[in-house]
Structure formats: structure tokens, C-alpha cells
Amino acid sequence: MQVSTIKENKERLYYIAGIILIVLGWQILSTIYNSIIIPSPLNTLEALKAMAISGELKDNIFISFRRQLGGLSLGVCFGLITGLLAGYFKRFEWLILPLINLLMSVPAIVFVVMAMVWLGLGTQLAIFIVGLLVFPVMHINTVEGLKSIDQDLIEMSRIYKLPLYHVITKIYFPGMLHGLIAGFSLALASSVRLTIMSELLGAREGIGQRIAIARAYLETEQLFAWVLVLLAILIAMEYLLIRPLKNLASRQR
């Protein structure tokens, strides 16, 4: 136990050292290049503070979060349903496979441009893109989760005629949990990037739209500030949601 704690502390120190090196490199580059190209960390933090005071930060985070949550919910629900069906029925798996391959292989920006024609600009576009491209990720991991269940356990449950409730809670759910959490983790991280991309190209508000404006007006310090915000959001999701879910899956297994 003590060895494990020492190892974790060393890993954290290296992680912190890596962050410090990135900030030092950023500071050095900001002194070499013009501030329009690379603003200093201090200027970026000042821009972030100004965005927070004006309310721009809070308002746009809320808008983007609402879109991300809407698209993520749709994609996860549909992916879970079709994944369960494909895991149980081989014919359905082959039937839906071309659609899954299409969604996974075509660049996301192509769907964004197509959705701009169909839905116009705004919230519907972002929710549609996030849901559409999160769906195959959840589908694939749900199917793999079902296939990873020990078939001997399922056969044993049939022999001993276990109640359906116990079969689901004691065999299927623990067996699938790792795959489901892996799929949800990927979907969650992807949903952030997809939301920002769809807003960058097809929205009038939100984090992606603010990034587009900052780029257009060469407000580089605001651009870097929004990048810091996105990094903070992804790190918060990793430590507050994804890691606890992965620990839960490990305990269940």
C-alpha cells in the first residue's frame, strides 16, 4: 500500500513538472514572438479575468454545456439501444454496421456542413452533430460489452433457471459495465470537441463562436483564454466523472 502511494505521488510530481515545463515554454515563446501570435500567460489570464467579470465566460459556457448535454444524451441513448439489439441479434448487427462504419469514417466537418444546409445555424445544429457522432461510439462499446460476457455464466443461469432480474443484475450488468463506461468516457470527451466544432462553424453564440470571433479579430489572448477554459473543463470531467466511473467498473469486475 505504501509503495503504491509513493508511486502515485511520484507520478503526480512528474505530471505537475510537465505542466510547469509547458508554461515555461509558453512564456519563452511569448517573449520571442509578437503578442498577436503568442500572448504571454499573464496576458491570457488577464483576458480570462475580463471575460469572467463581463459575464461572457459564464453565459457561453452555459450555452455550450446545454448543447453538449442534449447531443450527448441523444447519442448515448440511441447507441445503447442499438448496441443492445445488435449484441442480441446478429442480423441486426450486420444490418446497422454500414451506418456505423459510415459515421466513423466520414470526417465530422462533412456532417457539420451538411447539417448547416438542413438545420441552419444554432442549437439544433450542435445537438444533431453531437448526437449523430456520439451514437456510433456508444453503439460499438455496448456491442463489445455484451460480447465480453462469459457465455458459461449465461449458460449456467439457464441451467439453474435463475430469475431474469438476477441474470441482468449479477451477470449482464457487471459484465457490460466496463464496456459501457469506456464508451461513455469516449462519448463524453468527443461531445465537448464536437460541440465546439459545430459552434465554430454554425452558431451565433457559445464557446466555439467566441473562439471564431477571437480568431477573426486577432484577439489572441482571448483565443488562448478559451483554450484554457476547454482544458479546465476536460480535466474536471476526467477527475470528477470519468475516473470515478472507471474505478466503479474495476470494483464491479
Average pLDDT over all residues of the chain: 85
- Could you tell me the pLDDT band of residue 14, with boundaries at 50, 70 and 90? confident
- Long-range contact list for 56-64, CB < 8 A, 24+ apart? 56/210, 57/229, 59/205, 60/205, 60/206, 60/207, 60/209, 60/210, 61/207, 61/229, 61/233, 63/205, 63/206, 63/207, 64/195, 64/196, 64/199, 64/206, 64/207, 64/208
Model confidence over 125-181: pLDDT tens digits? 999 999 999 999 999 998 888 877 767 677 776 777 777 666 666 777 777 777 788
The pLDDT of residue 137 is: 92
Dihedral of CA 15/16/22/25: which sign? negative
181-227, pLDDT tens digit by residue?
888 888 998 899 999 999 888 888 889 899 988 888 888 999 999 99
Per-residue pLDDT, 185: 87
Domain ranges for the chain:
1-33, 40-252
Cα 107 off chain centre by: 17
**198 within 8 A of 72, measured Cβ to Cβ:** no
**For residues 87 and 96, is the Cβ–Cβ distance under 8 A?**
no
DSSP, residue by residue, 121-168: SSHHHHHHHHHHHHHHHHHHHHHHHHHTS-HHHHHHHHHTT--HHHHI
Q: Which CATH superfamily is domain 40-252 in?
A: MetI-like (1.10.3720.10)
Element of type H or E holding 239? none
Nearest Cα residue to 77 out of 187, 162, 177, 174: 187
